[in-house]
Structure 1
Amino acid sequence: MAAFGTDELERYARHIILPEIGGAGQQALKQARVLVIGAGGLGSPLLLYLAAAGIGTLGIVDDDTVSLSNLQRQVLHSTDRIGAKKTESAAAALAALNPHVRVVEHSERLTEANAGRLFAGYDIVADGSDNFDTRFLVNDTCYRLQKTLVTAAILRFDGQLSTFKAYLGDPHPCYRCVFPEAPPPGSIPSCQEAGVLGALGGVMGSLQALEVVKEITGIGDSMSGRLLLYDALRGDFRTVKLRRDPHCRLCGDHEA
């Protein structure tokens, strides 16, 4: 087990003095390998806080480039990096924040063909994607590879967050237990069509990072089996209990 250098002890001092984390918890963060899907509105604060927390290895999956319209919410990127690959821009920002973190760039679109290969080398997956097809793919791959999934979503002034560990069985649901099928095309607008409040990504992405840290260190109560809903206009948080669906096509009782 690698020891902390003097600069690391100072960098993580406010974590280490927390009895719930301490040196052992910080060591767990240093050894952790987290894969983040998307370096956009959610991925930006998520990646920044995970790097600041001292996650040992951060993988980033994104095939997009930085555009001017991203900068209203994607705080990981900057004006001088417009046109750059988002993975490259993210890696530069994270290296400047914490050089002790290893960043692995996966500058490719997540597909059924590559998901298993990409996920295999990581302990936990954090999904900040912006469409149902990707969310289903991430959920299904995490279930099959027995990876913990922390996922969040934002649109307009609303956010949601949950953790899925259906591979543990009852009482843990998977994403498909909550959303069995994607909504009909055109029924839910994209952020590009409907807009999104920039700071909302900061709220939900930060909460997502917090839940990843909790899962790695084993502190607090997991969000598995609960869905957090945030209404930014009302300033209101609400938690809904989730149940595993025994008829779920992925993790239901028909599965071996």
Structure 2
Amino acid sequence: MQPLVAPAAALDPEELVRTARHAVLGGIGEEGQRRLNAAHVAVVGAGGLGSPVLLALAAAGIGSIAVIDDDVVELTNLQRQLAHRVEDIGTRKTASAARAITALAPQTVVTQVHERLDAANAERLLARADVVVDTSDSFATRRDVAAATETLGLPLVWGAVQEWHAQATVFWSRPTEGDPVVLTDLFPLDTEGEPPSCAQVGVLGALCVQVGGMLAGEAIKLVTGAGEPLLGRLAMIDALTGRQHEIAIRSAATASASASASAVSA
């Protein structure tokens, strides 16, 4: 795909040194690193998936990150939410995540949004982003994020983790190449139900780190134009057996249009 973001004019000398291993990486290079520097990524959730996403994006040199979360840090979070520390307990996750990002990548501009994303504010909160990463754990929130990104035409990097299992993909209503694929192509309305919480069934902390890294990688590919994003493909991970596979996600709109065209020609 074509890169989403035009490159920044130049990088600060210290940032050049900090991100030097990207500058020699095939598919990114010096120009790609300047694209990352110019990018604005919105991350919904600063928990188990959001923590590694935020840290990986900051380490990669993303220039601007919005952290959207309305929760506070609890002791039980620390088994999997690696952006937070014991001393952060009781503080806002947005503030704790911002502290971790700044300690890792001082030049990254962090916007703290201590607000619960819903249908009423989703478009406003996400409008400035080049890419949105949804790491929320509520399907109601996922629906609202997906609806807003569809309206805005933004690519949505999407992931979910439960117990030993995880899924990751990219949705995009207006891709620069290929067919549009949106959340309802995977989960038609009123079919998904509400998943059990981590408190009820647990979650493998290490799997959150693995999938969070994958989601950050998808955002990096979209910004720079490197590689092939997971658009139209759902990656599925079973950490208990160490197996990973993927399934194709077909666009319902494209399938419907093809069926209509076939009926007319017939």
TM-score relative to the length of structure 2: 0.90
Q: What is the DSSP-based 3-state SS (H/G/I as helix, E as strand, rest coil) of the residue aligned with 1:162?
A: strand
- What is the alpha-carbon distance in structure 2 between the residues aligned to residue 69 and residue 230 of structure 1? 24
2:76 aligns with 69
Question: What are the Cα deviations for residues 25-72 of structure 1, in whole angstroms up to 9, with x where unaligned?
Answer: 000000000000000000000000000000000001100000000000
Q: Is the 8 A contact 2:66 2:111 kept in 1?
A: yes
- C-alpha displacement of 1:23: 1.0
Could you say if the C-alpha distance between residues 92 and 182 of structure 1 is closer, same or farther in structure 2, counting changes exceeding 3 Å? farther
1:178 aligns with 186
- What is the alpha-carbon distance in structure 2 between the residues aligned to residue 184 and residue 27 of structure 1? 40
Q: Is the 8 A contact 1:66 1:86 kept in 2?
A: yes
- What is the alpha-carbon distance in structure 1 between the residues aligned to residue 247 and residue 38 of structure 2? 32
Q: Give me the CA root mean square deviation.
A: 1.8
2:159 counterpart of 1:152: yes
In structure 2, list runs of 5 or more residues that go unmatched. 1-7, 261-266
Q: Which amino acid aligns with 2:182?
A: C
- What is the alpha-carbon distance in structure 2 between the residues aligned to residue 208 and residue 33 of structure 1? 15
- C-alpha displacement of 1:231: 0.1
1:205 aligns with 212
Greater Cα shift, 67-76 or 18-27: 18-27
Question: What are the Cα deviations for residues 97-129 of structure 1, in whole angstroms up to 9, with x where unaligned?
Answer: 110100000000001111111111111100000
Greater Cα shift, 189-198 or 25-34: 189-198
2:131 aligns with 124
- What is the alpha-carbon distance in structure 2 between the residues aligned to residue 185 and residue 160 of structure 1? 16
- What is the alpha-carbon distance in structure 2 between the residues aligned to residue 26 and residue 247 of structure 1? 34
- What is the alpha-carbon distance in structure 1 between the residues aligned to residue 151 and residue 51 of structure 2? 27
- C-alpha displacement of 1:182: 4.4
2:91 aligns with 84
Q: Is the 8 A contact 1:142 1:149 kept in 2?
A: yes
Q: Is the 8 A contact 2:179 2:254 kept in 1?
A: no
Q: Which amino acid aligns with 2:181?
A: P
Could you say if the C-alpha distance between residues 227 and 3 of structure 1 is closer, same or farther in structure 2, counting changes exceeding 3 Å? same
Q: Is the 8 A contact 1:87 1:107 kept in 2?
A: yes
- What is the alpha-carbon distance in structure 1 between the residues aligned to residue 245 and residue 135 of structure 2? 20
Question: What are the Cα deviations for residues 185-244 of structure 1, in whole angstroms up to 9, with x where unaligned?
Answer: 56x312121110111100100100011100100010110000000000010110101100
Q: What is the DSSP-based 3-state SS (H/G/I as helix, E as strand, rest coil) of the residue aligned with 2:67?
A: strand
Could you say if the C-alpha distance between residues 93 and 184 of structure 1 is closer, same or farther in structure 2, counting changes exceeding 3 Å? closer
Could you say if the C-alpha distance between residues 237 and 89 of structure 1 is closer, same or farther in structure 2, counting changes exceeding 3 Å? same
- What is the alpha-carbon distance in structure 2 between the residues aligned to residue 228 and residue 144 of structure 1? 25
Give identity over the alignment, percent.
Answer: 43
Q: Is the 8 A contact 2:130 2:154 kept in 1?
A: yes
Q: Which amino acid aligns with 1:74?
A: Q
2:33 counterpart of 1:20: no
- What is the alpha-carbon distance in structure 1 between the residues aligned to residue 106 and residue 192 of structure 2? 44
- C-alpha displacement of 1:19: 3.2
The runs of at least 4 aligned residues of structure 1 exceeding 3 Å deviation read: 182-186
- What is the alpha-carbon distance in structure 2 between the residues aligned to residue 74 and residue 241 of structure 1? 30
TM-score relative to the length of structure 1: 0.93
1:196 aligns with 203
Equivalent of 1:239, from 243, 246, 253?
246
Q: Please list, as runs of the form range in 1=range in 2, the aligned pairs for 1:43-122 lying within 5 A after superposition.
A: 43-122=50-129
Q: Which amino acid aligns with 2:80?
A: R
Q: Which amino acid aligns with 1:55?
A: I
- What is the alpha-carbon distance in structure 1 between the residues aligned to residue 96 and residue 157 of structure 2? 23
- C-alpha displacement of 1:170: 5.9
- What is the alpha-carbon distance in structure 1 between the residues aligned to residue 19 and residue 201 of structure 2? 40
